[in-house]
Structure 1
Amino acid sequence: MFTNNDINFEALKRKAYNGRWATLEDGIIPLTAADPDFRTAPEIEQGIIEYIKDGYLSYGPFSGLPEFKKSVADHFNQEKHGTFSPENVLAVNSAAQGMFLIASYVLQPGDEAIILDPVDFLFKKSVETAGGIVRLCPVDTTTGEIDFEKLVSLITQKTKLISICNPHNPLGKVYSKEILKKVSEIASSHDVWVMSDEIWSDIIYDNKDFHTYSSVSDEAKRKSFTVYGFSKSFGIAGLRIGAVLCNDQEILEDFIEKSNFNSTIEGVSTLSQIAGSVALEKAKPWYKDFLNHLQHNRDLAFKILSRSEIVTPNFPEATFVLFPKIENGMSSDQFTQHVLQQGKVAIVPGSERWFGKGAEGHIRICFSTSQEILEEGLNRIITSF
């Protein structure tokens, strides 16, 4: 199901944008945007077809279809130690939109938000779009550990939000219950909101346990939002479907109201919600095979890059990206350009634009493709020098 023969390259060249197959010249291998090269689960395709068979595509409830909300709540409660009811779930049109809505809800212009460094660029962008000021808390690029001393020192009267990425993109770190508890104690003692982006929480290796942030303490439950999406684990990025979860029903209702979800301005395509619901209800066997394939790819990529002497790879506990450290003295942008021109492989530079100041000197490589493509791409990177 996840061999090279299962990839429809013609379809990818027509449809896979965002720095991938449809945007690059023939002959270039994209190991760029975190999006699988494989077609989505047949159960999801079938679910969409079944839903539109009767010819009705009417308005859904503004906060989301009941079956969508139930399947997301059940998924978090069964797999991630959550305690959510379906009413605690809001359908949004991507995890990214969820992040932006939360920043807008929590922050007034001039308020401060603490984000990790390095981390995906959407954290910074969402804060700035809301008029907030970003404060960077360093994360060890080898271990993924948060510098808690620095975190506490960054908190001022203006701090309103701490945002975490768990599992961490691009480091692949899964934060333990103890670490999350520490975050909740700090946030609670300063009366600060926490947003936990958990879009990667299904792509975790070696059967490692995952705790959704709000499950770790009463403090964590009290003043937090969780963001979730389907693009990584089920390959349906183009359907733009995600969820915001919040254990406090009153807060969530206020959030829904202030985010304009109580009108036809906002709200999410019912078709996308059906896809999300079917993914969680029926496509788990497909997903487990996919995860197994990804774990083999992670091990293979680590092995190949470890022998290279050009980069030192990290060993991610989660996600399907690697974040190797460049060892030949090049900057992230120089390295990426060299590999594109000489090796015909597209990768993401660890530049400030994409991941913040702390990312410089690294590259990000996506490995959610076939073993053959991955091997070819990595060997091209190494032999281009």
Structure 2
Amino acid sequence: MFTNKDINFEALKRKAYNGRWATLENGIIPLTAADPDFRMSPEIEQGIIEYIKDGYLSYGPFSGIPEFKKSVTKHFNTEKNGSFKPENILAVNSAAQGMFLIAKYVLGPGDEAIIFDPVDFLFKKTVEAAGGNIKLCAVDSRTGEIDFEMLTSLISSKTKLISICNPHNPVGRVYSKEVLVKISEIAETHDLWVMSDEIWSDIIYDKKQFNTYSSVSEAAKKKSFTIFGFSKSFGIAGLRIGAVLCNDQELLDDFTEKSQFNSTIEGVSTLSQIAASVAIEKAKPWFSNFLDHLQHNRDLAYSILSNSGILTPNLPEATFVIFPKIENGFSSEAFTQHVLKEGKVAVVPGSERWFGKGAEGHIRICFSTSTEILEEGLNRIIKSF
């Protein structure tokens, strides 16, 4: 089901941008942006077709259509230990937009946000775009372990927000309930907001339990926002559909108003919301098979890299990226350029631009492709040295 035969390479070369097939020369294997090489499930495709059959694409409710809100609520409450109501959900144009809007809502000029280092570049970018300043809290680049002593020491009178990435990109750590409780206690003590990016929370291996941040304590429900999106689990990045979740209804209503969603300035395509709803309601069997495939690819990548002598891998608990350490003395950027030129494989460097200073000496490899392509790509990397 997830082999080379199931990949339409011609379509990818026309449509897969963001450092992938459509942006690279023929012959180069992209193991770059976290976007599956497989087409969306037939259920989602059919759901979109059915929705537009009557010929109407009218305005939807500003905060999201009822089907979308109910589906996201059910998804979080049944699979992530959430306690949300449909009215606690706001549809947004991607998880990235949700991150920016939260930073804009929480931070004033000169206010500080604490983010992990390393972590996906959007955390830094969205805070800076909103006019805030960044404080970096170190996490272990192999395990994702948080330096809580450092976290506490970074808090000042200017601190307003702690942003967490759970599961963690690029390390693949799933934070336990105990860790999340500790974060919530620190936030409560210092009266801080918490934003939890949970876009990767479907893609978890070995049946490990996931707890959405707001579920771990009463303190966690206060002054917190949760981010979710559909680009990773269901391969519909081009539809740009995400959600902001918040248990405090007055808080979410105020956020919705100040983010301009109570007008036609902002709002999300109804078609995108239908696709996301169908994904949750009807595409779970497809996703279950996809997750099995990803776990197989994770294990394969870990095995090949462990025996390479060039890269030392971590074992991700979640996500479909792996973040190995470079062992041959190359910088992240030099290693990436070398394997692109000599091995014809594109990967993401562990550079400050993409993940922060703490990522240096690593690369990120995406494995949401066929086993054949992954194996070929990893072997090319190894043989290029």
**2:105 maps to 1:105:** yes
Query: CA separation in 2, counterparts of 1:83 and 1:304?
Result: 41
State the match for 1:229 in structure 2: 229
SS at match of 1:164: strand
Query: CA separation in 2, counterparts of 1:96 and 1:142?
Result: 25
Which amino acid in the other structure matches residue 13 of structure 1?
K
State the match for 1:192 in structure 2: 192
Shift of 1:253: 0.2
Normalising by structure 2, what TM-score?
1.00
State the match for 2:13 in structure 1: 13
Query: CA separation in 2, counterparts of 1:4 and 1:370?
Result: 6
Which amino acid in the other structure matches residue 95 of structure 1?
A
Which amino acid in the other structure matches residue 231 of structure 1?
S
Q: Flag structure 2 segments of 5+ consecutive residues without an equivalent.
A: none
CA RMSD of the aligned region, Å? 0.3
State the match for 1:150 in structure 2: 150
Query: CA separation in 2, counterparts of 1:141 and 1:356?
Result: 11
Shift of 1:138: 0.1
State the match for 2:51 in structure 1: 51
**2:201 maps to 1:209:** no
State the match for 1:340 in structure 2: 340
Shift of 1:4: 1.0
Question: After superposition, where does 1:144-293 map in structure 2 within 5 Å?
Answer: 144-293=144-293
Query: CA separation in 2, counterparts of 1:339 and 1:55?
Result: 49
SS at match of 1:225: strand
Query: CA separation in 2, counterparts of 1:223 and 1:209?
Result: 24
Shift of 1:309: 0.5
Shift of 1:135: 0.1
Question: After superposition, where does 1:30-41 map in structure 2 within 5 Å?
Answer: 30-41=30-41
State the match for 1:373 in structure 2: 373
Query: For residues 122-165 of structure 1, what are the alpha-carbon distances to aligned partners after superposition, in whole Å with 9 as ceiling and x for unaligned?
Result: 00011101111100000011211000000000000010000000
Query: CA separation in 1, counterparts of 2:278 and 2:270?
Result: 12
State the match for 2:319 in structure 1: 319
State the match for 1:72 in structure 2: 72
SS at match of 1:228: strand
Query: CA separation in 2, counterparts of 1:131 and 1:340?
Result: 36
Percent identical pairs in the alignment equals 82
SS at match of 2:302: helix
Shift of 1:169: 0.1
Shift of 1:223: 1.1
Query: CA separation in 1, counterparts of 2:203 and 2:365?
Result: 16
Query: CA separation in 1, counterparts of 2:132 and 2:143?
Result: 29
SS at match of 2:49: helix
**2:84 maps to 1:88:** no
Which amino acid in the other structure matches residue 66 of structure 1?
P
SS at match of 1:160: strand
Which amino acid in the other structure matches residue 142 of structure 2?
T
SS at match of 2:196: strand
Shift of 1:3: 1.0
**2:326 maps to 1:353:** no
Query: CA separation in 2, counterparts of 1:5 and 1:337?
Result: 30
Query: For residues 352-373 of structure 1, what are the alpha-carbon distances to aligned partners after superposition, in whole Å with 9 as ceiling and x for unaligned?
Result: 0000000000000000000000
Query: For residues 325-355 of structure 1, what are the alpha-carbon distances to aligned partners after superposition, in whole Å with 9 as ceiling and x for unaligned?
Result: 0000000000000000000000000000000
Normalising by structure 1, what TM-score?
1.00
Which amino acid in the other structure matches residue 305 of structure 1?
L
SS at match of 1:116: strand
Shift of 1:213: 0.1
SS at match of 2:210: coil
Q: Flag structure 1 segments of 5+ consecutive residues without an equivalent.
A: none
Query: For residues 91-124 of structure 1, what are the alpha-carbon distances to aligned partners after superposition, in whole Å with 9 as ceiling and x for unaligned?
Result: 0010000000000000001000000000000000
Query: For residues 309-330 of structure 1, what are the alpha-carbon distances to aligned partners after superposition, in whole Å with 9 as ceiling and x for unaligned?
Result: 0010000000000000000000
How many residues are matched?
A: 385
